Structure 1
Amino acid sequence: MQPLEGVRVLDLSHVLAGPYCTMVLGDMGAEVIKVEQYPEGDLIRQMAPFQSGMSYGFSVINRNKQGIRLDLTTEEGQEVFYRLAKTADVIVENYRPGVTKKLGIDYETIKEKNPDIIYCSISGFGQTGPYKHKAGLDIMAQGMSGIMSMTGESNGRPVKVGVPVHDIGAGITALYHILFAYIYKLKHHEGQYIDVSLVDSALAWTVWEAAAYFGKGEIPVPSGSRHRRIAPYQAYKTQSGFILLGIVNERMWERFCHHVVERPQWQNDPRFATGNDRIENVEELEKEIEAVLTTQPSDVWLKRLEKQGVPCGPILNYEETLHNEQTQHREMVIDYDHPEVGLMKTLGFPAKMSKSPAEFRLPAPMLGQHTDHILEELDYSKAEIERLKHKAIV
């Protein structure tokens, strides 16, 4: 039995932050019903690439969900949603603040109909404050959180993180707070409202940078692949490309100097003698290390480093990552057969649980695929369902 079996989640969200959260809830056994606005549905359905008409982006982020298409701008559409909300444990939405109130599906309205509901709103800047009505896409959150100001190479243009880290981060933040709220509900028999912001979620990740600023007034700047407090800890050029190297204590530094690069004099060089010395002279350290590493290809250095127990690794492109033997062994790529689309691939489950593992139960729904089934469950007759379809409510 999966841990969230029997929990019903209504997913009003779109694109990425909310759908990621509800996908994981579904992976852990929750019954997730994706409620998409009539007629277009989730915006991500329009995003390439496609396979047999299905957006691959949509398919990856919306597994383990049923789907209903519903016009929430109409009274009858709202009534359908109210019936559905009475049966739910959790609602997740990521509209801009104020939209759910206009639609009549906000927390206060739903709470009157289902006092135990856990209702989570995800937005760019949160439901309160002077910026609450601003559009909050991932890239804006990267800028507002300060993370873009410290990403990339020094003296370069602003660089965003290569993946939508703030969307995913907000989805994860919403996920664990929903679980916290569910535990609270089990103990105290009360639901609650959860307000999640992309910027707040991102800012919570800047623990090293907060320590540097609060402790010493340092304002972080772009440092490429370097660590702010450890050296050597970055990408280094070799004869054939780049490798990653991370030396986190003096014993590793000694092994690196004596047995990897065969430069024992570095250990006593006043520029590099201690961790703080190496940070203070990181530019010179990089030049010295690369002068040695560029004499041999990456594979040679990786073998030497691994033999000495010094943390190291290659820099793979995404295709290499997906086909890597470790990725394959960990089942992080899954094949499945979509009943409408055919053979598809998706990402696997990142945690391996011994008693209640995540499961792939349902492929992403076609637009409105489960509408009839869901309405029948809510005691709508076939005639009523046909009438709602005729009026373009569903």
Structure 2
Amino acid sequence: MESSTNTPATPTKGPLNGIKILDFTQFLAGPHGTQILGDMGAQIIKIETPAGDLSRTVPPHFIRDDSAYFHTINRNKKSVVINMKKPGGTELVRELIKTADVVVENFRPGVLSRLGIDREDEMENNPALIWASISGFGQSGPDRDLPAYDMIVQALSGTMSLTGERGGRPVRTGIPVGDIAAGLHAAIGILSALHNVKETGQGEYIDISMLDCLVAMLSYQGTYHLESGHVPGPQGSGHDAIPTYRQFTAGDGRDIVTTANTERMWQAMAQALGHPELLDDPRFTLNGDRLRNKEELWDILEPAFLERDAAEWVALFNEAGIPVGMVNTLDLALTSPQILHREMVVELDDGNGASVKTLGNPIKLSRNPRSRDSFPPALGEHTSDILRDVLGKSSSEIDQLLEAGAIQTPLAEELVN
């Protein structure tokens, strides 16, 4: 199945249709979270400075004038440029906040208030307003004012200490898990608050810390340490508790992973590898035995995997009901028939000859799906439309704001000159 192509026609209504979200976020964590909500049908109004979201300029790949990085996390949004340092800019933001159901921002604590926007005042004026702040360390605590990016919180949370080859130095994960986790948790918090507004009419303040999110994602490793005091190191491609849950290299040099984590799977694995005698070896009878003797077990299993090519092992293990998978590079993963079938590679078209292939939405809805996605917006592309349609501004009022430098559109220079 080929990747789907979506046109910038009006998207079908999703379950969040009618929800208006002002998105002040940039780079990755916030935009990822708001894109999820936009994919679900919410109207996302992306408020940018004249310089734009900083991710628009991240090299090396560009579509139109914006980076592929930006296009990854900004579909289904409208861009409005407002300069809060110019006369009328802050007032314009306040007007938009009055119309919103949700505000999402990732300013460092205190920045918005210095620009003349007070969250508590805005929420008092609009009691049903949901306000979500995403930051590295949250709005409280001794580190609240420190800057943070994904790798910083990976380091501080302990995530990096668990990543890398066993016995090696810690490394960052290959994907920005801190940013993605914060975006996901922000979206979850917003959805829960929207339900509460529906029930009570009362808004909510949501405080999302990237560090908090990664600590929560330590999962059983965190609990193991809290209970035992043991400090684990890099996990490599194995598992602390299950020695047959790991990566092996096949005869053609390709890596595969298997997760034989039950006794039935272990028995099937020993048979498939041509070593049924292992089932009668008291060193390997139960998982606890195998864990105590894992080095001896690996000395037997690793040469066994070299006897066949990776594809042969995958077919054999699948037939035997043993979970298995190739370690794919991105070129293989993103052309996988399963991934393409699930529409996890999509192509967005701006209607003027520009297109971008990007990653799809993993949330599949049966009764209210979106069938089309809109191309990520150019900087200020929808400024005039939003001011006219949402705030009821006249053409002359928009022209005055342009002349004052409070707003910007793609045609701003022409309109001013």
Shorter chain as normaliser: what TM range? over 0.9
TM-score (norm 2): 0.91
List alignment gaps of at least 5 residues for structure 1: none
CA-based RMSD? 1.4
Match of 2:123 in 1: 111
Distance 2:371 2:42 in 1: 11
Report which structure shows greater RCO (CA 8 Å, sep ≥6).
2
Q: CA deviation at 1:271?
A: 2.6
Distance 1:169 1:348 in 2: 17
Distance 1:124 1:341 in 2: 38
Distance 1:264 1:156 in 2: 34
Secondary structure of residue in 1 paired with 2:343: coil
Secondary structure of residue in 1 paired with 2:283: coil
Task: Tell me which of 42, 47, 58 is aligned to 1:47.
Answer: 58
Task: Tell me which of 147, 155, 177 is aligned to 1:135.
Answer: 147
Write the deviation string for residues 92-113 of structure 1: whole angstroms up to 9, x where unpaired. Answer: 0011111112122242132133
Distance 2:67 2:157 in 1: 30
Task: Tell me which of 211, 232, 246 is aligned to 1:220.
Answer: 232
Distance 1:268 1:74 in 2: 79
Distance 1:268 1:215 in 2: 34
Task: Tell me which of 355, 358, 383 is aligned to 1:346.
Answer: 358
Secondary structure of residue in 1 paired with 2:241: coil
Secondary structure of residue in 2 paired with 1:125: coil
Structure 1 residues 317-326 or 51-60, which shifts more? Answer: 51-60
* Counterpart amino acid of residue 207 in structure 1: S
Match of 2:393 in 1: 380
Task: Tell me which of 196, 203, 206 is aligned to 2:208.
Answer: 196
The question of whether the paired residues in 2 share the 8 Å contact of 1:236 and 1:286 is answered with no
Q: CA deviation at 1:340?
A: 4.7
The question of whether the paired residues in 1 share the 8 Å contact of 2:63 and 2:355 is answered with no
Indicate the percent of aligned positions where both proteins have the same amino acid. 39
The question of whether the paired residues in 1 share the 8 Å contact of 2:87 and 2:406 is answered with no
Write the deviation string for residues 9-52 of structure 1: whole angstroms up to 9, x where unpaired. Answer: 00000001000111011100101100001x21100001121023
Match of 2:290 in 1: 278
Task: Tell me which of 250, 258, 263 is aligned to 1:250.
Answer: 263
Q: CA deviation at 1:54?
A: 2.4
Write the deviation string for residues 289-312 of structure 1: whole angstroms up to 9, x where unpaired. Answer: 111111221112111111110000
Distance 2:182 2:317 in 1: 37
Distance 1:14 1:52 in 2: 19
Match of 1:57 in 2: 69
Q: CA deviation at 1:351?
A: 2.1
Task: Tell me which of 289, 303, 306 is aligned to 1:294.
Answer: 306
Answering whether residue 334 of structure 2 is matched by residue 311 of structure 1, we say no
Distance 2:274 2:212 in 1: 46
Aligned residues: 392
Distance 2:191 2:237 in 1: 34
* Counterpart amino acid of residue 64 in structure 1: N
- For 1:231-250, list aligned pairs within 5 A: 231-240=243-252, 241-250=254-263
Change (3 A) 1:120 1:341: farther
The question of whether the paired residues in 2 share the 8 Å contact of 1:82 and 1:113 is answered with no
Match of 2:99 in 1: 87
* Counterpart amino acid of residue 53 in structure 2: D
Change (3 A) 1:345 1:380: same
TM-score (norm 1): 0.96
Q: CA deviation at 1:280?
A: 2.4
Distance 2:87 2:126 in 1: 18
Q: CA deviation at 1:53?
A: 1.7
The question of whether the paired residues in 1 share the 8 Å contact of 2:86 and 2:404 is answered with no
List alignment gaps of at least 5 residues for structure 2: 1-12, 408-417
Match of 2:374 in 1: 362
Change (3 A) 1:359 1:98: farther
Change (3 A) 1:73 1:279: farther
Write the deviation string for residues 231-261 of structure 1: whole angstroms up to 9, x where unpaired. Answer: 2011101111211111111111111112x01
* Counterpart amino acid of residue 303 in structure 2: A
